[in-house]
Amino acid sequence: MMKNLVFLGAPGAGKGTQAKRISEKYGIPHISTGDILRANIKEGTELGKLAKSYIDKGLLVPDEVIVKVMDARLKEADCKNGYLLDGFPRTIEQAKALDKITNVTLAINIAVDSDAVVARIAGRRMCVCGESYHVSTHPSDVCDKCGAKLYQRDDDKEETVKARLEVYEKQTAPLIEYYSAKGVLKDVDGMKDVAEVTDEIIKVIDGNR
């Protein structure tokens, strides 16, 4: 079956961590709207300037802007045999727009406790190469892969995280019901260790759960 996958989950649920592993295993592109927007911010593009004004407040970038970006991205050749979307769709409007572009075969909801996500986000450290770590499991402030100094994402500061979690509850959590009604939703316990969560996701994708 075609692997047109969507990862749902609160900020800090582990979507990006799992998406890297799963996209490598199945040879499908990992498409993260957050990564696309951050790359645009770094390059100083018009999209980046616009996105920054929302991201810094913990708010969502307007639907029409994101849908245009994703419409173009999903038409690229590497999506021909499937894809893994991380951070998109994030509103019912985005999900409806996605339905017009392509058909989602499986939406995986990575479920976590809200207390845990705050601790995960507070301890997350990023590298310019795209790797992500947590201070509790990786106390060094240098990347294992490329040796660069790790940094904290601007929107991982406490006050912005609170806004992001509120936005998630109000605008993104309703997608769980949206995909459930379509019969393509599966829940995975995101409170387990990273490797255990990966195993669960693989079982779901392979139809063994």
- The residues carrying an active-site annotation are 15, 90, 124, 153, 164
Q: Are 186 and 204 in contact (CB under 8 A)?
A: yes
| Strand residues in the chain grouped as ranges (E) | 3-8, 30-32, 82-86, 106-111, 124-126, 132-134, 185-189
User: How far, in Å, CA of 157 to CA of 58, rounded?
Assistant: 10
Only one of the segments 71-79, 139-147, 178-186, 190-198 lies at the binding site for ligand AP5 (rule: CB under 6 A); that segment is: 190-198
Three-state DSSP state, 127:
coil
Q: Which is nearer to ligand AP5, 73 or 164 (CB)?
A: 164
User: How far, in Å, CA of 122 to CA of 12, rounded?
Assistant: 9
User: Cβ of 154: how many Cβ atoms within 10 Å?
Assistant: 12
Query: Contact with ligand AP5 (CB under 6 A): which of 90, 104, 127, 188?
Result: 90
Three-state DSSP state, 188:
strand
Query: Contact with ligand AP5 (CB under 6 A): which of 3, 92, 105, 132?
Result: 132
Query: Contact with ligand AP5 (CB under 6 A): which of 8, 22, 60, 104?
Result: 60
Residues 6+ apart with CB under 8 A from 62: 54
Q: Which is nearer to ligand AP5, 37 or 84 (CB)?
A: 37
What is the smallest separation between the CB atom of 15 and ligand AP5, expressed in angstroms?
3
Question: If binding means CB under 6 A, how many residues of this protein chain bind ligand AP5?
Answer: 35
30 binding ligand AP5? (CB under 6 A): no
Q: Which is nearer to ligand AP5, 1 or 39 (CB)?
A: 39
Query: Contact with ligand AP5 (CB under 6 A): which of 83, 88, 178, 179?
Result: 88
Q: Name the residue among 81, 85, 58 with its Cα closest to residue 71.
A: 85
Residues binding ligand AP5 (CB under 6 A): 9, 11-17, 33-34, 37, 54-55, 58-61, 66, 87-88, 90, 94, 120-121, 123-124, 132-134, 155, 164, 190, 193-194, 197
